[in-house]
Structure 1
Amino acid sequence: MSSVLISVMVGLHALSAAVWVGGMFFAYMAVRPAAAKLLAVPERTTLWQNSFARFFPWVWGIVVILLATGFWLIFGVYGGMGNVGAHVHWMLLLGLVMMAIFAHIYFAPYRRMRKAIAAQDWPEAGRRLGQIRMFIGINLVLGLITIALGTGGRYW
């Protein structure tokens, strides 16, 4: 197995995780408080709808890249799940949970928020945005733990 190819796959895997988790960190820790302070619900929910419309396609692509590179490394480099450390098992489990939470965000509260905005039902749009915020907060914590496991877990 080419060490260059392995390095590319590890790099893609790490960059994908960094973009997803970094995007959530920026949204949750910087944009959310600023938007809540400065914008009324109609403007705030519309801002988030437009932001999510640009970020979520990236996340779908990242999910594919993380799964493809992760499984390629596990099975192509290490020879299967039985040959990797517990940190990889935990990283995979948390990553799958994060992907399920993202899919829920996308297909449930985000879809309902878009419908509420289209109908100018601002209280409902704000409620759905609150649900999205909660799930992104959960995913952010899981993502930070997953990155810590992926980068330092083999030494624990």
Structure 2
Amino acid sequence: MAYALTLHILAAIVWVGGMFLAYVCLRPLAASLFEPPQRLQLWCGLFKRFFVWVWGAVILLPLTGHWMIALLGGFKYAGTHVHIMLGTGYLMVLLFLHLYFAPFKRLKKAVETEDWPAGGKALNQIRQIVGINLALGVLTVINATGGRFFYG
């Protein structure tokens, strides 16, 4: 259980913390410092590096989550907060998969071809999805840490 929980928490920290840093701190700074071409190149490069870590989280979080559920005796013994965590977690994974295979793919192509308007549109779509996923991630962390107290 200790190994599963440790990996689970580390994966969540990387993913949710990375989204927080990007959305809350880097996004406003990049917008104030860089013109669109440089900003799009920055984000494309950042996402290429960050998404490697997100893929690890996307794999580890469900694996370790189900591992811990199995160690506890199965879904029958999992609290309401665990079921909610699974739901929000899988929704986050689906949103990331869409982000990665649609707007991020368009962002990379736009940066390669220097199509800055298309890149701006793709980046805006990514921003919206990351904003939703960040909110879901924070709610999931709140539920994970306090859910058993909220739901009994």
Shorter-chain-normalised TM-score: which range?
over 0.9
Shift of 1:82: 1.4
**What TM-score does the superposition give when structure 1 sets the normalisation length?**
0.94
RMSD: 0.7
SS at match of 2:52: helix
Corresponding pairs, count: 150
Task: Write the deviation string for residues 101-137 of structure 1: whole angstroms up to 9, x where unpaired.
Answer: 0000000000001111111110110110010000000
1:65 aligned partner: 60
1:41 aligned partner: 36
1:11 aligns with 2:3: no
Report the residue type matching 2:94 in the other structure: A
Detail structure 1 runs of 4+ shifted over 3 Å in the superposition. none
Correspondence 1:17-56 to 2 at 5 A: 17-56=12-51
Correspondence 1:134-149 to 2 at 5 A: 134-149=128-143
Report the residue type matching 2:88 in the other structure: L
Report the residue type matching 1:148 in the other structure: I
Report the residue type matching 2:44 in the other structure: Q
CA distance in structure 1 between the partners assigned to 2:139 and 2:127 by the alignment: 18
Match of 1:113 among 107, 115, 122: 107
1:82 aligns with 2:100: no
Shift of 1:81: 1.0
Identical residues among aligned pairs (%): 49
Gapped regions of structure 1 (runs ≥ 5): 1-5
